[in-house]
Chains A and B, each alone.
Chain A
């Protein structure tokens, strides 16, 4: 069974860069789309972006100027960098894998989520 686990700092200072990694176990990175999704406290889900195992990316237009998602197939993990953060970036950050092999079907696998707070 595929499992995803987010890791990274739980506290980031304003104007700095939020960096998270998602480790994948029980399956390969290859062949799938991998996403980052966030959820501010008591609010809805917001897609940040996805990366295909080959390295091609697609980002939420509202965050595109600040986001970089990368993949390391040798480590079976992918990462998120979000720069110039503000308090509005405080959220639970989830990594997720699409249900479809090589296709976009919906997020069938999710990490447990990690709360990142932006505060000085």
Chain B
């Protein structure tokens, strides 16, 4: 079965750039998307089709996908960005696959 791997945690200082990676076999050949989930809330789609932002998502969120790695980048990270982030893609049978999640700490 297809698997996506994320680092369990990432730390960043306010105002700096945070990068969260998602690794999977030939992930760059697939579309990846990213979700932000704050405690007690439903996930929110922040990036789809590798690099597109849904309406209402701040420009500081960006994405890329190449080779075996997709990356979510948050520029000028704010305290409000502290959350769990999940990557997601589809395998060859269009089954949905989630990464294990990354806890972003802003300190």
Residues of A whose CB lies within 8 Å of any CB of B are 35, 37, 44-47, 50, 58, 60-62, 94, 99, 104-108, 110-113
**Is A105 in contact with B98, judged by CB distance below 8 angstroms?**
no
Residues of B whose CB lies within 8 Å of any CB of A are 1, 31, 33, 35, 37, 42-45, 47-49, 54, 86, 88, 90, 93-101
Q: In the complex, which of the residues B1, B48, B94, B101 contacts A106, with contact meaning CB atoms closer than 8 Å?
A: B48
Whole-angstrom distance from the CB of B31 to the nearest CB of chain A?
7
Q: Give the residues in chain B near A99, CB-CB below 8 Å.
A: 45, 48, 54
**Is A35 in contact with B42, judged by CB distance below 8 angstroms?**
no
Complex CA–CA separation, A107 to B35 (angstroms):
9
**Is B42 in contact with A44, judged by CB distance below 8 angstroms?**
no
**Is A58 in contact with B95, judged by CB distance below 8 angstroms?**
yes
Whole-angstrom distance from the CB of B29 to the nearest CB of chain A?
15
Q: Give the residues in chain A near B54, CB-CB below 8 Å.
A: 99, 108
Q: Give the residues in chain A near B97, CB-CB below 8 Å.
A: 47
Q: In the complex, which of the residues A37, A60, A105 contacts B48, with contact meaning CB atoms closer than 8 Å?
A: A105
Complex CA–CA separation, A50 to B48 (angstroms):
18
